[in-house]
Chain A
Amino acid sequence: METMVELDQLSKHFGPFVAVDGISLKVGKGEVLGFLGPNGAGKSTTMRMVAGFLTPTSGTAKVCGHDVEAEPVLVKSLIGYMAEGSPAYEDMTVRAFLKFIAEVRGLSGQAAAIRIEEAVAKIKLEAVIDRSIEVLSKGYKRRVGMAQAIIHDPPVLILDEPTDGLDPNQKHHVRTLIEEMAAEKAIIVSTHILEEVEAVCTRAVVIGNGKLLADGTSEDLLATLPEHDAIYVVVKPEAVDAAKSKLQAVNGVGHVTHTQRADGAVQIECMPSEGAQIIDGINSALREGAITTSEVYKHRGDLDAVFRQITGGGSTHA
């Protein structure tokens, strides 16, 4: 896989405050990398350094093999960047703004007109093209930000919270757009909406306090949870003790706990010991013991829990 973005020990200090602390990672063509992390973790600062807005305190960021600090203008021409909140010149109409961006990006005349038209059609901005940006809704403003980022068809796209403040339909549209463009580009998307990571990202990194805490597919991240692949069995209260002893005996089952549910039934949680697959064993144990269950399900865990576990936001118990 062709490496498009490469960060090596990238750091940024603001006075005594360390915003980004030695982040190294690679993003290849065809990848959609999700930047996850709590607010203030250093996601935006990292993106701003790659986009050439901030100068790193130490370390390097390379885009298509070119160092951001050494060749800033070249690197900026290879990136489509949408800043957080997609700030745009509010006094301009959408058309004038996109024309300005196209011109600065070296497109002019017919070529610019074609690219603007394509971007507008792709982002569905036709309805507001002649309105001034200050009167647009948040969703449209965000889309203007997207349009300006893709107008020159850049090999690298960096989008800082592209779906923040959008309604579910608009979010879906943005995700579809990202998926459509993914094959040809390297895309970095920051978000704190975790469903987004599962929906569009091929890989995710978790950043906390400026450090890279985890890097992998969303499946990899889920696997770090102790309750990942746990089997939950729901039984009547009187059957709990019998069921628990049966389940405890199943090969691969670690510890077994139970919780009283609001509807009166009891949920028994069987945690697998390291990496074990226990569903078959549990099924046969239930059959042999003739235990009547109302539900049996596998708990994948969710990224919210991973997020809290990795970034230290408290209990991960589902």
Chain B
Amino acid sequence: MRNIWIIAKRELYGYFTTPMAFIFIAIFVALTGAFTFYIGRFFDRGQASLETFFSFHPWLYLLLVPAVAMRLWSEERKSGTIEQLLTLPITTADAVLGKFAAAWLFCGIALISTFPIWITLTYLGDPDHGVIGLSYVGSFLMAGAFLSIGACMSALTRNQIIAFIAAAAVCFVFTMSGLDLVLNFFRGWAPTFLVDVIAASSFLVRFESVTRGVMEFRDIIFFLSMMAFWLFATTVTVDAKKAA
């Protein structure tokens, strides 16, 4: 646990010594605002809820989270620092979790930076703070799930661009898998249970219940097990590919 935190601290240091962190947060906040007010027509709806605000998060994450994740391992391998890192007295899992924790925390910071919209809403009306708080938690969990996919893709290649595109593609499949676009592709030939599994692993479907304020315990479990699976895959990949 101590090692994980030390690795995470170093990663965060890396984010904030370059302007990248601030640029990312600024873009994230600007885009959430733009989507909510212009496309989501926040004012016209006349409702004291952040449902529109949250409904755009999966699409934003699809673009921005792979951008955070792409450098996690690709850069270590490209610059050779992976050799420095993995010859320190830590396990590969420590390194994987530490780097992931830093990136997730960073996404959390970006998410928290959108708080003025919550204040605006409270000023204008009387929203359900419980629902909004829960939606923030759900959004944070979903960001973690996207990020764990991105970490794994980043471990597969030393090229950050490829890592980005691969992560965005895999995240897209998981986002859309509840929709007919993806399901129809499987319905013709796959057994029903497989179609159900695919439908159940859709981030979008999970997240819809979150934004409506009806997040269930199994939604939390879903996102956490997604992270566990992909981080395990990352650990295996890092071990297998570190020398290549």
Contact = CB atoms under 8 A, between A and B. Distances in A.
Interface of A: 14, 48, 51-55, 72-74, 76-77, 79, 81, 83, 85, 87-92, 96, 100-101, 103-106, 132, 148
A55 B240 CA distance: 10
Contact of A83 (B10, B17, B87, B91): B87
A73 B14 contact: no
B212 interface: no
Given A53-B83, A87-B80, A104 B14 contact: no
B20 to A, nearest CB: 10
B81 A52 contact: no
A104 B81 contact: no
Given A90-B79, A100-B6, A104-B3, A53 B13 contact: no
Given A53-B87, A92-B13, A101-B88, A87 B6 contact: no
A103 B83 CA distance: 18
Given A74-B89, A101-B88, A104-B3, A89 B10 contact: yes
Contacts of B1: none
B86 interface: yes
Contacts of B13: 91-92, 96
Contact of B10 (A90, A100, A148): A100
Contacts of B14: 89, 91-92
Contacts of B120: none
B178 to A, nearest CB: 40
Interface centre among B79, B81, B83 (most CB of A within 10 A): B83
A85 B7 CA distance: 22
A81 B84 CA distance: 8
B90 interface: yes
Given A100-B10, A104-B6, A88 B89 contact: no
Contacts of A106: 89
A88 B84 contact: yes
Interface string B76-114: 000111011011111100000000000000000000000
B79 A87 contact: yes
B6 A76 contact: no
B95 to A, nearest CB: 10
Contacts of A87: 79-81, 83-84
A51 B88 CA distance: 9
B79 A73 contact: no
Contact of B17 (A81, A91, A148): A91
A101 B17 CA distance: 18
A81 B86 CA distance: 11
28 contacts: A14-B243, A53-B83, A53-B86, A53-B87, A53-B243, A73-B89, A73-B91, A74-B89, A83-B83, A83-B84, A85-B80, A87-B83, A88-B81, A88-B84, A89-B81, A89-B84, A91-B14, A91-B17, A91-B18, A92-B10, A92-B17, A100-B9, A100-B10, A101-B88, A104-B89, A105-B88, A105-B89, A148-B84
Tell me which of B80, B84, B87, B90 has the highest count of chain A C-beta atoms within 10 A of its own C-beta.
B87
Given A89-B14, A91-B18, A100-B6, A53 B88 contact: no
A274 B147 CA distance: 69
Contacts of B81: 87-89
A52 B6 contact: no
Contact of B87 (A79, A85, A132): A79
A300 to B, nearest CB: 38
A69 B3 CA distance: 20
Contacts of B10: 89, 92, 100
Contacts of B9: 100
Given A89-B10, A104-B6, A52 B79 contact: no
Given A73-B90, A100-B9, 19 more contacts: A52-B87, A53-B86, A54-B243, A73-B91, A76-B87, A76-B88, A76-B90, A81-B87, A83-B87, A87-B81, A89-B10, A89-B81, A91-B14, A92-B13, A92-B17, A103-B6, A104-B88, A132-B17, A148-B84
Contacts of A89: 10, 14, 81, 84
Nearest to A12: B243
Contact of B80 (A51, A77, A83, A96): A83
A54 B241 CA distance: 10
A199 to B, nearest CB: 26
Contacts of B243: 14, 48, 53-54
Contacts of A72: 91
Nearest to A104: B88
B89 A77 contact: yes
A101 B13 CA distance: 14
Contacts of B90: 73, 76, 104
